[in-house]
Amino acid sequence: MSQKQQYLMGVRAGIPVILGFVPVGIAYAIMAQQAGFTTSEIILMSITVFAGASQMMAVGMYVQGASIVAMILATFILNLRHLIMSTCVVSRMKNEKIGRKLLATFGVTDESFAIFTTEKEENCSALYFLGLITVTYSSWIAGSAIGAVASRFLPAILSASLGIALYAMFIGILIPNAKHNLRLGILIALTAVVNSILTHFIASSWALIVSTLVCAAIGVFFVDLSKQEDTADEQ
Amino acid sequence: MNSSIFLLITGMAVVTYIPRAIPAVLIEKMKFSPRMEKFLRLIPYTAMAALIFPGVLTVDAERLSIGIVGAIVAGIFAWRKMPVMVSVAAAILADLLLYIIT
């Protein structure tokens, strides 16, 4: 496969994310605007941080008068999960220069991670991932910019309905995998239950990390992943 | 630009990039056992499951039905092997309709 083909394959895989990122970017920008951020600050944060949930959380904390240190610390904790995700992503890039990897890992988000790590192994390369994040990064910035500039022209029920998009994307990736592998399906259900329970006792960012790691560790002992590559063929 | 906001954005950018970049630097030095490799391959599935639940219920914090209906519609389309994009569009449309009729 040529380099251009690898890159374009990643771009194509990223297209569904546009439907998720643009609306969430708009929602973030509206929140930030109401908190008193200027248009350039809203867009600069999306360009440099590129992590939707933590950007929204920081804006929410800013409104409540939190200190800068507290907001940065909360961002760090919420985004620690990227350490695990990035490890999975980088382990699928064979024989790549470190510069390319450093560039690629800037774009590790829940979505790019989910798409890349469930892609067929032989399709995975740094260029594929760069193509993928070209789409996710630009739709995140575009969404933030649209929200900052044009929020008052969007009908409220449309922006509200778009909130389901990211979840629908994860469901769209998970279900076909679970359907072909009952034990994997059981593990997925178990994780959902564990996380729902943990969320009542510890901060949801920690609950997410703990339930992801603990349940994956449990899964090592009873899930068979050898069939998974076939599922990817059919998609 | 307000200097405290500039400081906030810079700090957030740094602490977000560091966990992302560490594996890019260190992975060559790591050698994974088959069991560790399996663990890493399972993480995408458990992470997505944890991202969906219970978060999907709070898509609209005042109306539980928005998250539930959207998730079920996406689930049905995914079960029928529709492309991810179609499942996403169907879930958005279902929620839009729900907002309109109720």
Per the structure block, which two tokens stand in for A230?
Answer: 């076939």
For residue A78, the chain B residue with the least C-alpha distance is: B16
pLDDT in tens, B39-51: 888 888 898 898 8
Opening angle at CA B65, ends A53 and A158, nearest 5:
60
The Cα A191–Cα A219 span in angstroms is 10
User: Would you call B8 an interface residue with chain A, using a CB distance cutoff of 8 Å?
Assistant: yes
Alpha-carbon Rg for chain A in angstroms: 18
Q: What percent of chain B has pLDDT over 90?
A: 52
Helix (H) or strand (E) holding B31: none
The Cα A85–Cα A83 span in angstroms is 6
Contact B85, A19 (CB under 8 A): yes
Q: How far is A8 from chain B (nearest CA, A)?
A: 17
CA B40 to chain centroid, in Å, comes to 17
pLDDT in tens, B6-16: 999 999 999 99
State residue A228's pLDDT score. 66
Per the structure block, which two tokens stand in for B21?
Answer: 């970049």
For residue A177, the chain B residue with the least C-alpha distance is: B45
**Across the interface, do A225 and B42 touch by the CB < 8 Å criterion?**
yes
The Cα A88–Cα A107 span in angstroms is 13
State residue B48's pLDDT score. 85
* Chain B residues whose beta carbon lies within 8 Å of the beta carbon of residue A71: 8, 11-12
Half-sphere exposure of B37 (CA within 13 A, CB side): 10
**Across the interface, do A211 and B87 touch by the CB < 8 Å criterion?**
no
* Chain A residues whose beta carbon lies within 8 Å of the beta carbon of residue B61: none
DSSP strands (E only) in chain A: none
pLDDT in tens, B68-97: 999 999 999 999 998 888 898 899 899 999
The b/e string for A84-107 (b: 16+ C-beta within 10 A; e otherwise) is bbbbbbbbbbeebeeebbebbbbb
For residue A43, the chain B residue with the least C-alpha distance is: B9
Q: How far is B32 from chain A (nearest CA, A)?
A: 10
The Cα B35–Cα B39 span in angstroms is 6
For residue B77, the chain A residue with the least C-alpha distance is: A172
Q: What are phi and psi of A27, to 5 degrees?
A: -60, -45
Opening angle at CA B49, ends A116 and A125, nearest 5:
5
Half-sphere exposure of A198 (CA within 13 A, CB side): 23
State residue A232's pLDDT score. 46
The Cα A167–Cα A199 span in angstroms is 18
Per-residue pLDDT in tens (0 to 9) along chain A, 235 residues: 889 999 999 999 999 899 888 888 888 898 888 888 999 999 999 999 999 888 988 887 888 788 898 889 888 887 888 888 899 999 999 788 999 999 999 999 989 999 999 999 889 999 999 999 999 999 999 999 999 998 767 777 877 787 788 788 889 989 998 999 999 999 999 999 999 999 999 887 778 888 989 999 999 999 998 766 544 433 3
State residue A164's pLDDT score. 85
Q: How far is A221 from chain B (nearest CA, A)?
A: 9
- The crossing angle, in degrees rounded to 10, of helices A3-35 and A52-63 is 10
* Model pTM score: 0.78
The Cα A69–Cα A47 span in angstroms is 21
Contact A141, B48 (CB under 8 A): no
* Chain A residues whose beta carbon lies within 8 Å of the beta carbon of residue B23: 83, 86-87, 89-91, 105
Of A84, A91, A161, the CB nearest to B92: A161
pLDDT greater at residue B1 or residue B89:
B89
For residue B31, the chain A residue with the least C-alpha distance is: A91
* Chain A residues whose beta carbon lies within 8 Å of the beta carbon of residue B60: 160, 163
Give me the amino acid identity at A49. Answer: V
